[in-house]
Amino acid sequence: MSSDGRSMYERMTAGDPYVADDPQIAAASTRAQGLSHRYNTMDPTDGAARRAVLEELLGAFGAGSEIRPPFHCDYGRHTTVGSRTFVNFGLVCLDVARVIIGDDVQLGPNVQLLTATHPLEAGPRRDKWESAEPIVIGDNVWLGGGVIVCPGVSIGANTVVGAGSVVTRDLPADVVAVGSPARVVRPLP
């Protein structure tokens, strides 16, 4: 228990700093690892069974969506995927905080959605304190291969992020952004 009476799991899900030494955190992580492993090793032609595992793993998984394995996440249930979304091979989704992926989103191979963060100060980091900030990806967004989205970022609807970009701050709707850090290079019609 922390000094405010909440468990570390309660602190984590509230978005407050926590230390990941809570049995609920360990159980949730183990659950996600087991389901992810099952999904990643399934017969790729058994679409119904693969979908059932994703529906059990994730907070929501929209109609007509697909995630190609391998797929790795911290907890799974903190992630929601809208309808008709396509996720290519190798998604890493550190979903300590909520990850909301909209409808008709396209994620290229090896995209990383990273909600977890750590203190800049050496002492708290050494003491294993951490926290997380949510990520929101709007409808009809396309993230090119290898894009990294950092904690607390929202990406507006219809935006395109170029391959290899690192998104460190919010991006508005209807733009193209590229680079590290990602910067808007032009509006979309």
| Buried residues in 76-89 as b, exposed as e (16+ CB within 10 A) | bbbbbbbebbebbe
Catalytic site residue 118?
Answer: yes
* H runs (alpha helix) in the chain: 8-13, 23-40, 47-57, 122-126
R_g of the chain, CA atoms, integer Å? 17
Distance CA 39, CA 51 (A): 9
Is-contact 93 74, C-beta < 8 A?
Answer: yes
**Catalytic positions, written as ranges:** 118
